[in-house]
Structure 1
Amino acid sequence: MDAVRWSTLLADWRTHQGALYLRLSAAFQGVIRGGKLAPAEQLPAERTLAELLGVSRSTVVAAYDHLAEGGWVTRRRGSGTHVSGSAPRQTPVLTLRTPVQPPVPPADELDFTIAVPLLDDTQRQQLREAALDAFRESVYHPLGLRDLRAVLAGSYTREGLPTLPEQVIVTGGAQQAISLVTSTGLRPGDAALLETPTYFGAIDVFRAAGAHLHGVPVQEDGLNFEEFRALTLKHAPRLAFLTPTFQNPTGTVMPVQTRRKLADFIASTNLTTIEDDTLYDLNFEATPPPRLSTFAPDAPILNVGSLSKLYWAGLRVGWMRVPTPLRPALEQAKTLADFGGSLPAQHIALKLLQDLPALRDRRRQEVQPARDLLARLLRQQLPDWEFTLPHGGQYLWVRLPTRHASSFTHHAARYGVRLFPGASMSVIDLPDSYLRLPFTLAPAELPEAVRRLEAAWADFQTRQGQERLA
């Protein structure tokens, strides 16, 4: 069984109503109706699914029987349980790795799946003041406000990457930028390279494009350059996605010497590469190395940034710095996508980014204490969980002493903690032993979150190898 896939498909099964078997049946009906399971596709074996979800085998048997009674699945002794060809369904869609909250999340749930900054009253007032000039015009700016593009270009230039305003395209968050580059650069069947583990949003976009994904392992000092080089020469990829600085999720930082070699190689192979800069500003101890693109400014390296991690995810303002040869295709794609982003959001972003150093300092002052608190609590209460303290970013990449981390995420949900299995962030086989824990929860909530994790982990260890209880 693909534990990661089934864990993702059934992540919110307990949020349904009724007895456990009815909740599980309802979850399966939802993924079948939504096109995420194909006709005749086999469901997991009863005992195997019971172990993943932390329930008794009889609960799974009852759920499958209920599905069969409703015509959703067919069951035959010796051949297993399969999706019925007559079951209601929509056009097939991907099973996304990207975690999303259920429509009505439990009231007291603590969520470790999405990392977003929290706004305080001072920042809310700052947003209101920044919006005073946000409604003065009613025109389209497909590539973004000229003044905002100029501010972003100036920031890149001051940090060693010469950039003209014409090279900057403002997007609806970094995710839209990644999607636009993917739509112009990849066709079904093309090869693509990603670090592994890596950002789940990039995995989903590349999968949706029909690309063949190849993973480059991330080591203690970032991407393995020799593996990247070998895979490029072997598969001739059309697009690569990299996060050299405070890599998501491991927090690693690629050394300068590796950046030089990698930039030279990208330039020599003309491999279009997305450099994800969304965490670049979140350094704690020291200034990070120059961006990868600064070592080859004319290479096909696109820098993607956003205010989502630096200030507030609700603003939905991102951007990309585009090498000149790639501009025509991306300018057209952006225009076709939306005719231009929200003018109020861009005017607010313009005001905020005019004092970028202040934004960076404030965000560091918020995130670093939370990182230190979460790390201290985990070391005190869960000492067998292993991690390296990152020098920036907003995640701990935690290794659990188990090969069933996906199952533990379901178990932790019973204790009111929402987790994301780290193996979902890989495009090659990765031991199912990791969790990505962002330190972006409110500091006041972290002690309770770790207390719940400790209780869930103790119970999970006790239950491993035993019959699961309904």
Structure 2
Amino acid sequence: MDSPHWTALLSGWRDAPGTLPSRLALKLRTHIQAGRLSSDDPLPAERALSALLGVSRSVVVTTYDDLAAGGWITRRRGSGTRVAATAPRRQGVLTLRTPLNQTPTPDRELDFTHAVPYLTPAHRQELVAAARDAFQESLYHPLGLPDLRALLADTYRAEGLPTRPEQVFITTGAQQAISLTAGTLLQRGDAALMETPTYFGAIDVFRAAGASLVGVPVGPHGVRHEDFLTAARTHHPRLAFLTPTFQNPTGTVMPARTRQLIAAHAHDTALPVIEDDTLIDLDFGDGDGRHVVPPRLATYAPDAPIVNVGSLSKLYWAGLRVGWMRVPDLLHGPLMQAKTLTDFGGSLPAQHIALRLLQDLPRLRRERREHVTHARDLLAHLLRTHLPGWSFDLPDGGQFLWVRLPTEHASHFTHHAARHGLRLFPGASMGVQTLPDHYLRLPFTVDPARLPDAVARLQAAWASFQMREGGERLA
């Protein structure tokens, strides 16, 4: 059984009212109707599904019996349980790894699946002030507000990457930039290189484009250039996706020499690369003295087909939905057309607010680093105190702890933790190919005041999960 796949598919199944079998049956019927489960698709074996969900086998047996009686599934000895050919269905869609279909209740649940800054009263006041001139025009700007594009071009140049304003496109968050690039450059069946593990939103985008995903393993210093070049020469990819600085989810930083070699390969072979810069501002250097982070990958080959993607979502607030992309000349025409046809331009009020905020970028970076560093240190201290069997390396930047659990069933644990009011994301779901099911990605963007409660719940969930793994059956 593909545990990460079924973990994503059945996430939140307990949220509906009714008995456990009726809740599980409702979730499966919903996915069959939506096309996420198609005719003749196999369902997990009873024992495997009960272990994943932390319920007794009788819950799964009753669920399957009810679905079979309703004509949703078929059960045959030797061929297992499958979606019935006569079951209602729509056109097939992906089972997204991106955890956006959940509606947590803040008072009762703690959500570790998302990693975005929360708004403080000071942020709200600042946003109101920044919106003072946000409603002054009614024009279309398909590639973004000119003043904002010029400001971002200045920022890239100041950090060593030659950039003209016309090379900067404003997008609806970094996700749109990734989606536009993949949708423009990839055709069904094309090979695409990705780090493994990597950002689940990029995995979903590349899968939706029909690409054949090739994973390059992430080590202590990101991907090794030898592994990247070998994969590129073997699979002849049409696009690659990399996060050289504070990689999501591991927090690793790619060395300068590796960046230089990969950039040279992109330049010499015209291999398009998406360089995800969304976490580049979150360096945990002390005061004004930052860690020595190498220049962007694109800096080593400014004319190579490397698309740099940035966003305000991790630096300030995801609700603005303002991102951007630096587009090299080689890709300017097709990406400009794709961006124009997509939306004729993003929200102008949001861009005016972003312009005001980014005019004070050094302060934004400083304040965000201070906040995130405090949260990182607090979460690390609590985990080491209360869950000493869990292991992780303290990252120098970013917003995640990549935590290894002493179990081969971390996906199972995420379902168990939901019963303790915790929403968790299994690390195996961030693998491009099969990834060992040992990891959780824990963001330290939760309100620090709630972290002690969150770790107390983790500790309680882990204690009862260990009892279950020891043989206790849970109804």
The separation in 1 between residues aligned to 2:398 and 2:57, in whole angstroms, is 41
Q: Does 1:323 align with 2:364?
A: no
- What are the superposed Cα offsets for residues 6-60 of structure 1, whole Å, 9 maximum, x if unpaired? 1110011111111111111111111111100110111111011000100000000
Q: Relative to structure 2, which stretch is displaced further, 296-305 or 69-78?
A: 69-78
Out of 428, 440, 448, the position equivalent to 1:443 is 448
Superposition pairs for residues 173-212 of structure 1, below 5 Å?
A: 173-212=173-212
**TM-superposed deviation, 1:289:** 1.5
**TM-superposed deviation, 1:291:** 0.6
Q: Relative to structure 2, which stretch is displaced further, 106-115 or 184-193?
A: 106-115
Amino acid in the other structure paired with 1:320: M
Amino acid in the other structure paired with 2:211: A
Partner of 1:8: 8
User: Cα–Cα, structure 1 residues 451 and 101, in superposed 2: closer, same or farther, change >3 Å?
Assistant: farther
Partner of 1:222: 222
Amino acid in the other structure paired with 2:390: W
Q: Does 1:424 align with 2:402?
A: no
Amino acid in the other structure paired with 2:37: L
Q: Is the 8 A contact 2:222 2:247 kept in 1?
A: yes
**TM-superposed deviation, 1:103:** 4.0
The separation in 1 between residues aligned to 2:342 and 2:232, in whole angstroms, is 30
Superposition pairs for residues 266-305 of structure 1, below 5 Å?
A: 266-285=266-285, 286-305=291-310
Amino acid in the other structure paired with 2:473: R
Q: Is the 8 A contact 1:310 1:359 kept in 2?
A: yes
Partner of 1:166: 166
**TM-superposed deviation, 1:287:** 4.3
Percent identity for Structure 1 against Structure 2: 66
Q: Is the 8 A contact 2:8 2:95 kept in 1?
A: yes
Q: Does 1:402 align with 2:407?
A: yes
The separation in 1 between residues aligned to 2:114 and 2:19, in whole angstroms, is 29
Superposition pairs for residues 33-48 of structure 1, below 5 Å?
A: 33-48=33-48
Partner of 2:250: 250
Unmatched 5+ residue regions in structure 2?
A: 286-290
**TM-superposed deviation, 1:160:** 0.3
Partner of 1:31: 31
Out of 361, 369, 386, the position equivalent to 2:366 is 361
Q: Is the 8 A contact 2:222 2:254 kept in 1?
A: yes
Partner of 2:156: 156
- Normalising to structure 1: TM-score of the pair? 0.99
The separation in 2 between residues aligned to 1:174 and 1:229, in whole angstroms, is 26
Q: Is the 8 A contact 1:239 1:271 kept in 2?
A: yes
Q: Is the 8 A contact 2:315 2:368 kept in 1?
A: yes
- What are the superposed Cα offsets for residues 296-321 of structure 1, whole Å, 9 maximum, x if unpaired? 11111110000000000000000000
Partner of 1:333: 338
- What are the superposed Cα offsets for residues 355-380 of structure 1, whole Å, 9 maximum, x if unpaired? 11011001011100000000000000
Q: Does 1:147 align with 2:147?
A: yes
The separation in 1 between residues aligned to 2:24 and 2:120, in whole angstroms, is 39
**TM-superposed deviation, 1:84:** 1.2
Superposition pairs for residues 12-161 of structure 1, below 5 Å?
A: 12-103=12-103, 105=105, 107-161=107-161
Q: Is the 8 A contact 1:51 1:468 kept in 2?
A: no
- What are the superposed Cα offsets for residues 156-179 of structure 1, whole Å, 9 maximum, x if unpaired? 000000100000000000000000
The separation in 2 between residues aligned to 1:107 and 1:69, in whole angstroms, is 39
Unmatched 5+ residue regions in structure 1?
A: none
Partner of 2:385: 380
Q: Is the 8 A contact 1:14 1:20 kept in 2?
A: yes
Amino acid in the other structure paired with 2:242: L
Partner of 2:376: 371
**TM-superposed deviation, 1:88:** 1.5
The separation in 1 between residues aligned to 2:369 and 2:394, in whole angstroms, is 15
Partner of 1:352: 357
- Normalising to structure 2: TM-score of the pair? 0.98
Q: Relative to structure 2, which stretch is displaced further, 65-74 or 144-153?
A: 65-74
- What are the superposed Cα offsets for residues 221-273 of structure 1, whole Å, 9 maximum, x if unpaired? 11121111001001110000000000000000011111111111221111100
User: Cα–Cα, structure 1 residues 437 and 104, in superposed 2: closer, same or farther, change >3 Å?
Assistant: closer
User: Cα–Cα, structure 1 residues 289 and 179, in superposed 2: closer, same or farther, change >3 Å?
Assistant: same
CA RMSD of aligned residues (A): 1.0
The separation in 2 between residues aligned to 1:308 and 1:204, in whole angstroms, is 19
Amino acid in the other structure paired with 1:357: P
**TM-superposed deviation, 1:76:** 2.3
The separation in 2 between residues aligned to 1:443 and 1:315, in whole angstroms, is 23
**TM-superposed deviation, 1:468:** 2.6
**TM-superposed deviation, 1:180:** 0.5
Amino acid in the other structure paired with 2:296: R
**TM-superposed deviation, 1:101:** 4.2
Amino acid in the other structure paired with 1:391: D
| Partner SS state of residue 131, structure 1 | helix
**TM-superposed deviation, 1:104:** 5.8
The separation in 2 between residues aligned to 1:79 and 1:135, in whole angstroms, is 62
- What are the superposed Cα offsets for residues 375-408 of structure 1, whole Å, 9 maximum, x if unpaired? 0000000011010000000000000011100000
* Deviating 4+ runs (over 3 angstroms): 103-107
- What are the superposed Cα offsets for residues 275-297 of structure 1, whole Å, 9 maximum, x if unpaired? 00000000012142211111111
Amino acid in the other structure paired with 1:19: T
| Partner SS state of residue 304, structure 1 | strand
Q: Is the 8 A contact 2:104 2:111 kept in 1?
A: no
The separation in 2 between residues aligned to 1:324 and 1:379, in whole angstroms, is 48
The separation in 2 between residues aligned to 1:404 and 1:105, in whole angstroms, is 26
User: Cα–Cα, structure 1 residues 277 and 387, in superposed 2: closer, same or farther, change >3 Å?
Assistant: same
**TM-superposed deviation, 1:75:** 1.7
The separation in 1 between residues aligned to 2:42 and 2:277, in whole angstroms, is 41
| Partner SS state of residue 241, structure 1 | strand
**TM-superposed deviation, 1:77:** 3.1
User: Cα–Cα, structure 1 residues 106 and 308, in superposed 2: closer, same or farther, change >3 Å?
Assistant: closer
Out of 318, 325, 340, the position equivalent to 1:313 is 318
**TM-superposed deviation, 1:213:** 0.3
Q: Is the 8 A contact 1:255 1:289 kept in 2?
A: yes
